[in-house]
Structure 1
Amino acid sequence: MQTSLMIDEALQRALLENLTTATLLLDSELRLEYMNPAAEMLLAVSGQRSLGHFISELFTESPEALCSLRQAVEKAHPFTKREAILTSVNGHGLIVDYIVSPILIRHKTLILLEILQRDRLLRMSKEEAQLSKQETTRMLVRGLAHEIKNPLGGIRGAAQLLARELPEEHLKDYTEVIIEEADRLRNLVDRMLGSNKLPSLALTNIHEVLERVASLIEAESQGSVILVRDYDPSIPEVLMDREQMIQAVLNIVSNAVQALAAHNGTRGGRITLRTRTLRQFIIGHTRHRLVIHISIIDNGPGIPADLQHTLFYPMVSGRPDGTGLGLAITQNIISQHQGMIECESHPGHTAFSVYLPLEQGATSP
């Protein structure tokens, strides 16, 4: 009987640990007794270190909310609050729904607090729409590329045949222009399509990738841009194509350097490379137990608002001399690694977030 009880307790704890809903257990004085990993990730605090902390030391909402929690303890009255704005200890505001359920155990009233992040639901909806647009754009580009490359081959071949028939050598300069421009357009189309080669996966330390990119940028900028490393050294190796991932990250960081240079000649420019892990994170329609979160943050002028929704489309660029292919290629590489890329930008702060599954096992949310 005792063994059965222990198994039940272990099962209950495992269920709580794997819930994607942030769940907290408070005692009658509104001090933390338990917090699951989803709550740790949402509130950006350590559950173990926060045990015994008063609720307002974890997040704040309003004095009225605190009164409501105390009444829930005194009167054992459950309630739900919609679209509340919580402020976490690091100052971030969160739009959430939360459910308060009093539980009577051994003549003591405990509070079960379930927090549902509305921001996350909005992000998932936005991500699904983005993935759908990307697939539509990819199909459109491939169809267009096919229609362009076929006549290009004919134009190039005809120019070569014409060059052989020309009576004077200097007239071949014109056919050379046709051939060179046909080749240039073909190369551009190939770059739009991206590589058809599947990633060559091998266990790789993500920090080796970031350090390789950092060394290239430091050599290029000659120290005019400050590079800040903020790594989590506990992140294990992950399956990836090292060269492709270097290219993907380099495209983002190079764009940041160019934006800083255009803004203020890179004086005071700073780029932060940050790595963290996230638990129970959803990419597309798949829930992953653990993902790597790579943040590339710069203090440049920001991306114009009218470009942010089309940032990863081919041929979209905020620079007069840009091709608009760098971020499209980056997104294709990240997608081939079953990952996701997002961008948040306003003047003085642009953050690209890359999410890569750390574990191969994943389930539907």
Structure 2
Amino acid sequence: MHIETDLDTIFDNLSTAILMVDKDLSIRFANLAAQVMMQISRNQLLELCLPQLFSRECLDYQRLRDTFVNAEGYSDNEAQFAFNDGRFMLVDVTVTALEQSEERLLLLEMKKIDQQKRISQETSQWAQQQAARELIRGLAHEIKNPLGGIRGAAQLLERTMASSEVSEYTSLIIEQSDRLRNLVDRLLGPNSPPDFAWHNIHRTLEKIRKLIVLDDSEKITLHIDYDPSIPEIWMDENMIQQALLNIVRNSMQALKDTTEGGCISLVTRVERQMTIHGKRYPLVCEVKVIDDGPGIPDNLKDTLFYPMTTSKRDGTGLGLSIAQTLINHHRGKIEVDSWPGHTEFSLYLPIDKKEPG
């Protein structure tokens, strides 16, 4: 049985977003899924070219133009699309050259990476980070034990030999031993259990906001966007404050070298039915720290939360690692998305109706 149907109808019933562009990269066709993805109507899309649609070159435009010449299609996995309205998403893209009425067009198939794939990636990364953290903790203990012996021997030597020359060296040994011990203590993370109680997350954020305002050394604009409907959260306020402060300081450092100081946004929202480390929560508090700095270097993105990972010349690389450890104590997680001009850290904390058992 032969069934005749309109191509537009077929395209509009696909879950994959379809765009067709000409040699000038002007959009000539967009299906319904593309309109949903771009959040722009078909008529508006047909008045745009690709560089007008995205806020940065998340597509290799020269490669697209070369495809018009050689007619060789290609695919990009997990391309990060950033839209002019500030949205971003990970997308798998396939580009195919087509001949249409003696004119060559490019067919772009764009499929948003589904939530299950993100959960799988998150689980894998979390397992790797946990393994790295356990390795660091083991090494830290192995360093700390002989370090105490070195310091004690230096103190004993200092007491038994009154020479000023010897005292100079023993003081140096003690000073450096203390410095290493402090570093090891930071690697090990908090050494006391969380002091959980019901707290308002916005009160914690306001304390951080005041600290930013009081820091006159940075010309930073602060934007606040709170959701007042968020109920109190079962948390250790000091730990959450420290985690958020570490992330905010990271943003302030990223904005330090910008001529205008930049902007930091503190945003809170409620997310529903979110999976965190394999467990699904009906309600989750989302706290976003967003800055318009230069973005995170690509070579650091996969290891950003590992201890000792930093792009700063004088940095220890412990701030984000400690922040994640503190959030893990609260059954939460931290996600980050970054490109030039936009870095967004998202903290997720379960919202409980009663004290969790």
Distance 1:343 1:93 in 2: 12
1:192–1:325 CA contact under 8 A, matched in 2: yes
Q: Does residue 253 of structure 1 match 2:203?
A: no
Distance 1:160 1:188 in 2: 20
Seen in structure 2, the aligned counterparts of structure 1 residues 223 and 179 have a Cα distance that, compared at 3 Å, is closer
Distance 2:343 2:220 in 1: 15
Q: Does residue 269 of structure 1 match 2:262?
A: yes
Q: Does residue 331 of structure 1 match 2:281?
A: no
Residue aligning to 2:170: 175
Seen in structure 2, the aligned counterparts of structure 1 residues 234 and 134 have a Cα distance that, compared at 3 Å, is same
Q: CA deviation at 1:168?
A: 1.7
Q: CA deviation at 1:312?
A: 0.6
Q: CA deviation at 1:318?
A: 1.0
Deviations 1:110-148 (A, max 9, x none): xxxxxx973312211111111101110111011101110
Q: CA deviation at 1:279?
A: 0.6
**Number of paired residues?**
270
The answer to which of 160-169 and 351-360 deviates more is 160-169
Q: CA deviation at 1:95?
A: 7.5
Q: Does residue 309 of structure 1 match 2:305?
A: no
1:163–1:175 CA contact under 8 A, matched in 2: yes
Q: CA deviation at 1:333?
A: 0.5
Seen in structure 2, the aligned counterparts of structure 1 residues 142 and 346 have a Cα distance that, compared at 3 Å, is same
Residue aligning to 1:58: none
Residue aligning to 1:280: 273
Distance 1:299 1:233 in 2: 25
Residue aligning to 1:351: 344
Seen in structure 2, the aligned counterparts of structure 1 residues 121 and 241 have a Cα distance that, compared at 3 Å, is same
Seen in structure 2, the aligned counterparts of structure 1 residues 180 and 279 have a Cα distance that, compared at 3 Å, is same
Residue aligning to 1:30: none
1:256–1:300 CA contact under 8 A, matched in 2: yes
SS in 2 for 1:254: helix
SS in 1 for 2:238: helix
Q: Does residue 160 of structure 1 match 2:155?
A: yes
Query: Equivalent residues in 2 for 1:141-156 (5 A)?
Result: 141-156=136-151
Seen in structure 2, the aligned counterparts of structure 1 residues 164 and 69 have a Cα distance that, compared at 3 Å, is closer
Q: Percent identity?
A: 48
Q: Which among 208, 211, 223 is matched to residue 213 of structure 1?
A: 208
Structure 2 letter corresponding to 1:126: Q
SS in 2 for 1:309: helix
Deviations 1:230-265 (A, max 9, x none): 11111111111111111111111111111111233x
SS in 1 for 2:198: strand
1:96–1:119 CA contact under 8 A, matched in 2: no
SS in 1 for 2:37: strand
SS in 2 for 1:341: strand
Residue aligning to 2:51: none
The answer to which of 203-212 and 118-127 deviates more is 118-127
Q: Does residue 87 of structure 1 match 2:82?
A: no
Distance 1:89 1:187 in 2: 51
Residue aligning to 1:294: 287
Residue aligning to 2:219: 224
TM normalised by structure 2 equals 0.70
Gaps (5+ residues) in structure 2? Answer: 1-5, 18-32, 41-84, 93-110
